[in-house]
Structure 1
Amino acid sequence: MATTPAAQTSTATAPTAAPPAARVERWQRFRTNRDKALASPHGWLTLTSFQWLGDSPAAVDLAPGLWSTDAKGTTAFLTAVPSDGLTLVETGGKVDGTVSAVLADEESLMWVRYGGPDGDQVVVELAMRGGRYAIRTRDAASPVFTDFDGVPTYPYNPDWEVTGRFEPYPEPVDVPIGTANPLVDGVHRSVGEVVFRLPGSSHEFRLQAEEEKLGALTVTFRDETNGDTTDDWRKLAVPRPRPDGSVVLDFNRAINYPSAFTPYGTCPMPVKNNSLDVRVEAGEKQPYPA
């Protein structure tokens, strides 16, 4: 973070007595779609385990069959018999014998399913994280999923929609980061910095951003509400910068990573300097307050 003369900085939207109805309606639609996406079958709310695979066939918790990798950890294997009730998600074929899969780092595969009246209550996801194979079970009977009634949020406040600018780097920079799983390291591919002001602050902020599809950006950040009313960190999608480099950051749309809902996520932490020394009282709150 760096202080600069006020004349050179972007400014927050002027305080508004009552937010325009159209903005509120758009935000409400965003919230409805967000909650609907979280409540999708076998989504993040259904995670019930995260388990590393060894190089010898072995049983795992919450899923039948024997699971392993080869000695070099390049291929994952599953051995099962028909009575295990496992079927391949992609084809629906029963697993009878040994099947294998190969993933690149950070890739995931919804591999097999089993259980329940239709044989699809639990989906087992194969994942490659930090150069190692792991599985995650996704159980549609998880109480986190079945009891979900939406994510708590701060009320919509137009003051938290601010205009800033994007300053791209000449080339992307890979920054090592931690993740929600202490055994998994991550990398943040920073493509530039989003520069802006926030209500209640006298200086500019600079957040390193990652690029998404069609030139949109994502910023992962911490602020002074973390551990109090919000999770340890959150993220914000930023629309593609305008031709003049300006960007709009609507912190009303700040959302939690999956790791806020489950201990089985491997979600990326913010880079070291992506911290805001103000309370960003906008967007999603902790889903399970103390």
Structure 2
Amino acid sequence: MSTTTRTAEERWARFREARNAALAEEHGWLSLTSFQWLGPEPAEVEQVPGLWSATDDGASLTASAADGLIGLPGGPPGGHRVDGTITAVLDDEESLLWVSHGGSTGRRIVVELARRAGRYAIRTRDAESPTATGFEEVPVFGYRPDLVVEARFEPYDEPREEHIRTAHDEVPGATTLVGDVVFSLPGDAREFRLGASQEEAGGLSITFHDSTNGSATADWRKVATRHPRPDGTVIVDFNRAINYPSAFTPYGTCPMPVDANRLEAAIEAGEKNPLS
């Protein structure tokens, strides 16, 4: 193994450590235990007390102090027990960690209020979820230096908004693509082309299918790159391909790839199917 390859693999190992640590956060994606739409009439929900409802004007929660629901910072009444009715208004695709409940500190379950496709829902995040407490690390393929490929970024004249499906049948999605990433794979003369979105820091994000999906890997994955170089080249490191939260839990609303982002090739690098 060359010094360059060893250094790259060491950086990848640090990336994996940080990734596993992020997934192990107390109320992270692995702690999701429900996704529940809110109706217009106050009603009980699963796993937490109170009466919950939502209309186009916002979401409401009514509870007494005896119910033990505690407001979280960022949403009223932060740090205090809910005693009466509280409300919140979100834009579409926004989320708010609204209240918590249970456990010795009153924070075992955190309730996330979300607005998706114009409707309000809650997701419960239970720190004692078996998926969270049993997590050690995401299974991955061994490091593949040959699947660190140089690609060509071809920006579009204008960003393109594409309608997509998501991991939740009742939540339609959309994504904005800014260009194509064009590359070949080792030992394969074909040219592949994947649409990419732009991340806040200027890098690219590529959500894709490949022929390992549904067996060795989850149904789709994503990989991020740094900002394209001045000559338009960009490095796509498939060793850093990761799963969306929906690979770990049925309560995600994660975006699927656009139809064209389907590789008729096996990308045996990056994260594997965590449920296989």
TM-score by length of 1: 0.92
Per-residue Cα deviation, 1:135-184 (whole angstroms, up to 9, x for no partner): 00000000100000100000001000000111111111110000000100
- The aligned amino acid for 1:36 is A
Q: State whether structure 2 residue 59 is matched by structure 1 residue 76.
A: yes
Q: Does 1:61 align with 2:18?
A: no
SS in 1 for 2:190: coil
Q: Please, which of 237, 248, 253 is the counterpart of residue 240 of structure 2?
A: 253
Equivalent residue for 1:156, pick from 126, 143, 167: 143
Tell me, in whole angstroms, the C-alpha distance in 2 between the residues paired with 1:199 and 1:137: 44
Q: Give the Cα separation in 2 of the matches to 1:68 and 1:235.
A: 35
Question: Out of 69, 72, 89, which is 2:72 matched to?
Answer: 89
Identical aligned residues as a percent: 58
**1:18 shift after superposition:** 9.1
Q: Work out the CA distance in 1 between the residues paired with 2:139 and 2:201.
A: 30
Q: 2:14 aligns with which of 26, 29, 32?
A: 29
Alignment of 1:155-234 (within 5 A): 155-234=142-221
Counterpart CA distance in 1 for 2:212 and 2:59 is 41
Distance 1:82 1:238 in 2: 48
Residue number in structure 2 paired with 1:40: 25
Q: Is the 8 A contact 1:206 1:274 kept in 2?
A: yes
CA contact (8 A) 1:177 1:270 kept: yes
Quick check: 1:19–1:158 contact (8 Å CA) kept in 2? Answer: no
Q: Name 1:13's counterpart in structure 2.
A: none
Q: How big is the shift at 1:200? A: 3.6
Per the alignment, residue 96 of structure 2 pairs with 109
Q: Does 1:49 align with 2:38?
A: no
Please report how far the alpha carbon of residue 235 of structure 1 lies from its aligned counterpart in structure 2 after TM superposition.
Answer: 0.2
Larger RCO (alpha carbons 8 Å, 6+ apart): 1
CA distance in 1 between partners of 2:59 and 2:140 (Å) = 40
C-alpha deviation, 1:93, in angstroms: 1.5
Distance 1:25 1:17 in 2: 12
Cα displacement (A) at 1:213: 1.2
Contact 1:188 1:210 in 2 (8 A): yes
Instruction: Quote the residue 1:12 is aligned against.
Output: none
Instruction: Report how far residue 21 of structure 1 moved.
Output: 1.4
Contact map agreement 1:169 1:192 (CA 8 A) in 2: yes
How far apart, in 1, do the equivalents of 2:204 and 2:2 lie? 30
Deviation at 1:19, TM superposition (A): 7.2
**How far apart, in 2, do the equivalents of 1:224 and 1:278 lie?**
5
Listed as ranges, the gaps of 5+ residues in structure 1 are: 1-15
State how far apart, in whole Å, the 2-side matches of 1:138 and 1:48 are.
Answer: 6
